[in-house]
Structure 1
Amino acid sequence: MVERGAPVVPSARSERSLLFLVAAVQFVNLLDFMMVMPLGPDFAVALGISMSDIGLIGGSYTAAAALSGVACASFLDRFDRRSALLVALLGLVAGTAAGGLATGLSSLVAARVLAGAFGGPATAIAFSIVADATPPERRGRAMGVVMGAYSLAAVLGVPVGLELARRGGFQVPFFAVAALGLLVAGLARLLLPPMRGHLAGARAAGSALRELRALVTRPLVSLAYAATAAVTMAAFLIIPNISAYAQQNLGYPRERLGLLYLAGGALSFVVMRVAGAVIDRIGAFRTSAAGAALLVAVLYAGFHSYVPGLPVLVVFVGFMTGSTIRNIAQSTLVSRVPRPAERARFGAMQSALDHLASALAAFLSARMLRELPDRRLDGMEGVAALAIAFTLASLPLLLWIERRVAVSPAAGAGPARALRGEGA
C-alpha cells in the first residue's frame, strides 16, 4: 500500500534501524517522565518538599506537555521531521538536567515544565516519523517496536534510576537521563535521514490555524481523539494509585516493589511485539477488544472486588498487559486517520489530549479516594468501576474508527484508496 504524500526513506537507512532509533527517542522521553514519581520521596527529603506536594511536580510536566502540544500543533508539519525532533530532544535534555540542579519546589517545578514543554512534541514527532516511514500493512509491528520503549523504561530505567538515586542522590538519575538524551540526539543527527516529503502538502494547505481548525473539527479526527481520551482515562485512574494500593491494601512489601515493574515491563515488551503482529493480521479493533476483556477482568478481580488469594504480581502484570494491548491497538488505528501532511499536528493535539486526560483521571481518582487511619486507600471500588466504564466506552469508538478509515477519503490510509495508489 502506498499513501500519497508519504515521505520516502532513503534505502541506505533501513526501516528497522529507523524504528529502533525512534524507539530510543521514546525511551529517553518516557524514562524522563516515569522516573520522577518513584523518586518523589528522595527529592522531597533532599529539598525539603512536603510529600503532599509531589503530585505538583508530576502534574507540572503533563500540563506543560499538553499546552505545548496545542501550541505546536499548528506548525510542526512545516518543518523537516529530523530537525523538529532534534530541537525537541535538546529542549528535553535541558529540562531534565535542570531537574538535577533544582534547589527547592519552585525550581524543580520549573525544570519539569521545561521538560514537558519539549517532551510532549517529541512524542508527536516520533510517531509521525513512524507513520511516514512505514506502510499501513506493517504499521502495527512498527508501533510495537517503538512502544516497546515503555516496557524498557519500566524494566530497566526505573529500577536503575532508583538505584542511582540511592547511591549518589536524587540528582544522578536526572543527569544520567540528560546524558543519554544527548547521545540519542547525536545518533539521530547522524543516522536519521531528512524527512521532508510531507512539506509540499503542508505548505499548499494554507493558513496554519485554518488547517488546525479543519483538522480537529473533522468527524473522524474527533472520534480518534475521543477514543484516545477514553483509553487514557481508563489507565490513569489506576496508575497513580497502584503502588500505594498494592502496598497498603494488599500488603505487598516495599522491598519487592521493583519485582512488579521488572515482571510487568518484561512481559509488556513481549506483548507489544506480538500484539503488533496480531493487529496486522486480524485488525486493531479485535485486538483491542481482547485487551479490553483482560483489562476489565483484572480491574474487577484485582481492584473493584478483590479476590482473596489473587497474587499481587498477577494483578499488576495483568493490568499492564491489558493496557499495553489496548494502547498499541489504539495507536495503530488512529495513526491511519490523519493525512501524511498533517500527521505531526494531529499527533501534537493527540499528545496534548492524552496528557490532559491523564491529569484529569489522576485528579478524579484523588477526589474519589481517601486514606484510612491504617493508611489503606478507601474508594478504590469506585475508581475501578469508572475505569471499567471508560474501557468499555472506548470499544464502540474504535470500531467506528476502523470502519470509517476503510472507506473515508479523509483517512490517511484507507485501504481501498491505497490499493489504487491514491492517498487522502
Structure 2
Amino acid sequence: MEHNEPIPLTGYQKLVIFILAITQFTVILDFMVMSPLGDILMKSMDLHPDQFGIAVSAYAFSAGISGLLTAGFADKFDRKKLLVFFYTGFIIGTILCGLVNSYETLVAARIITGLFGGVIGSVSMAIVADLFALQQRGRVMGFLQMGFGASQVLGIPLGLYFANHWGWHAPFLWIGGMAAVIALIILLWLKPVDAHLALPQQNSAFVHLWRNIKKPDYRIGFAATALLSIGGFMMMPFGTAFAVNNLGITNAQLPVVFMCAGIFTLVFMPAFGKLSDMVDKFRLFTLACLWMVVVVLVYTQLGTTPLWLVIVFNILMMTGIMGRMVPSTALVTGVPEMKDRGAFMSINSSLQQISGGFAAVIGGMIVVQPEKFSPLEHYNILGYIVSVITLLSILLMRRVNTLIKKRSMQQQIPPPVAEGIALSEV
C-alpha cells in the first residue's frame, strides 16, 4: 500500500469535528438504544420479533421519507440553520418517546423522531464535505464515528442502567436532556456554513432533487450505501435478544458487553480514520468486509457462550463494522459536486434509512421466538443473508472507487494529490 502525508486540521476544523461528533453521539444513541432495550421492550410490552422490527423500522422509514422530501432544499439554506431546525425536532421526538405508554404510541413517537433525526446525519456529512478536503475526511469520519463507540461505552450502559431501575422510558428522557444542551453549543459555536449559496442554483427544489437522483454516477453511490445498510440493519435490532435468549447473557451483563466493544471503538476509531487517509480506502474496505463475513458466520451459529467469548466476538464484529464504515463513508462523500452535496447527502441518508427499515422488517419476519423466554430461531439465516450482501457491497464500492479515480484524472490533479484522493475514504 502506498502512503500519503495527511493534510493537517485547523483549530476551527477541530472544533467543528467536536460539535458534529457530540451531535452524532445523541442521534446514534437514540437509534442504537432501541437494540439493547429490545429484550426489555419485547418482554415488558409482550411484543413478537416482527412487531419489534416494525418499531425499529418506524424511525428508519420516516427518516428516509423526510430526507427525500428535504433533499431538494438542502442546498438552498445555511447548513447550520438546517442542523439547528432538525435537531430541535429530534429533541422533541425523543422526549415524546420517553412519555408514551403503549406500542402504538411508541411507534408514532419513533416516526416523529425519525422525521427530524434522519436528516441530521446528511446535513452533518454535507458540512464535512464543505469544510474538509477529501484527504482529511478519513480522519473526520473516524472521529465522527466515535459517537458510535461512545454510545456503547457511556450511552448504552447508562441507558440500560436507567431502564433497569426506572423503566424503559428513562433512557429517552435522558437523551433528550443531553441533546438540549448540545443544541445550545451548536447555536453559540458553529459558524454559518453557506459557501455553497454563492454557487448558481437555477433549479427549483424538486428539479434539483430529480437531477441528483438521475445522475448515473450518483446512483452508484446511492446503491452502495443502501446495500451496506441492508446488511447492518438486518441483524442489529435482534442482537440483544439473541445474546440473552440464545447465548445465555443476562441483562446485568449486557452493559459490560457494549462497554468493552465501545471502548475498543473509541480507542481504535481515530486510527482507522488516519489509516484510511494514508492507504487505499477501497482495499481497507474490502479487507474489513471479508473480516466481517467470517465473524458473522461464526457468531450467528453460537449457542450458550461464556461472557468473555461474547465480548471477544462483539469486538471482532465491531472491527469489521468500523473498518468498512470509515472508508466507505469517506469514499461516498467524494462522489457529488459541491453544489449538489446537500441534496446528495440527504438522498443518500434517506436510502440508507429506508433500506435499513426494510431490512429490520424482513429480519423480524425471518427471526422467530415461539415464547417470551425461548431462544430466537433462524438468527443464523440472517447471518447467511448479511454475508452475501456484504460481499456484493464490495463490487459496488469498487465502482465508487473507480469513479473517484477517473474524476481525479479528468481534473488533472498532480499525481501525488490525485492518488491521495483516489486512495482515501456507515
**In structure 2, what is the Cα distance between the partners aligned to 1:322 and 1:190?**
37
Structure 1 position 306, deviation (Å): 7.8
Amino acid at match of 1:382: I
Aligned to 1:252: 249
Whether 1:314 aligns to 2:312 is: yes
1:20 aligns with 2:24: no
Determine if contact 2:281/2:331 at 8 Å carries over to the other structure: yes
The residue number in structure 1 matching 2:207 is 210
- Of 368-377 and 25-34, more deviation after overlay is shown by 368-377
Q: Identify which of 272, 276, 279 aligns with 1:279.
A: 276
Seen in structure 2, the aligned counterparts of structure 1 residues 334 and 294 have a Cα distance that, compared at 3 Å, is same
User: SS state of the match for residue 170, structure 1?
Assistant: coil
TM-score if structure 1 supplies the norm length? 0.88
- Residue 370 of structure 1 aligns to a residue whose secondary structure is coil
Q: Deviations over 1:305-329 (max 9, x none)?
A: 8899892222222112101111111
Contact 1:69/1:348 (CA < 8 Å) preserved in 2? yes
Q: Report the CA distance between 1:377 and its aligned residue.
A: 2.6
- The residue that corresponds to 1:113 in the other structure is 111
Deviation at residue 182 of structure 1 after TM alignment: 1.2
Give 2:81's match in structure 1, choosing from 63, 80, 83.
83
Are 2:56 and 2:357, in contact at CA under 8 Å, matched by a contact in 1?
A: no
User: 1:28 and 1:98 mapped to 2: Cα distance?
Assistant: 15
Q: Is residue 37–residue 54 contact of structure 1 (8 Å, CA) maintained in 2?
A: no
Runs of 4+ in 1 over 4 A off after TM superposition: 40-46, 304-310, 413-420
Matched, 1:376 2:372: no
Q: How many residues align?
A: 407
- How do 1:354-393 and structure 2 match up within 5 A? 354-371=352-369, 375-393=374-392
Alignment of 1:233-272 (within 5 A): 233-272=230-269
* In 1: Cα distance, 2:408 partner to 2:256 partner: 48
Unaligned runs of 5+ in 1: 1-10
1:50 paired to 2:50: no
Range 348-357 or range 32-41, more displaced:
32-41
How far did 1:103 drift? 3.6
5+ residue gaps, structure 2: 1-9, 419-426
Is 1:154 the counterpart of 2:152? The answer is: yes
- Cross-structure match for 1:6: none
Amino acid at match of 1:17: L
Single out whichever of 310-319 and 115-124 deviates more from structure 2: 310-319
Q: Quick one: distance in 2 between partners of 1:177 and 1:189?
A: 19
RMSD: 2.8
- Report the CA distance shift for 1:415/1:103 in structure 2 as closer, same or farther (over 3 A): farther
Distance in 2 separating the partners of 1:243 and 1:399: 33
Q: Which residue of 1 aligns with 2:330?
A: 332
Equivalent residue, structure 2, for 1:33: 31
User: Which residue of 1 is the match for residue 423 of structure 2?
Assistant: none
Q: Is the 8 A contact 1:66 1:356 kept in 2?
A: yes
Match of 2:94 in 1: 96
Q: In structure 1, what is the Cα distance between the partners aligned to 2:103 and 2:46?
A: 9
Percent sequence identity over matched residues?
27
Does residue 67 (structure 1) correspond to residue 86 (structure 2)? The answer is no
2:180 to 172, 179, 182: 182
> Cα offset for 1:212?
1.6
Does the C-alpha gap of structure 1 residues 243 and 69 become closer, same or farther in structure 2, counting only changes over 3 Å?
Answer: same
Residue equivalent to 2:403? 404
TM-score w.r.t. structure 2 length? Answer: 0.88
Q: Is the 8 A contact 1:237 1:361 kept in 2?
A: yes
Secondary structure of 2:193 counterpart: coil
Give the drift of 1:418.
11
Matched residue of 2:398: which SS?
A: helix
Q: Which residue of 1 aligns with 2:165?
A: 167
Alignment partner of 1:237: what SS? Answer: helix
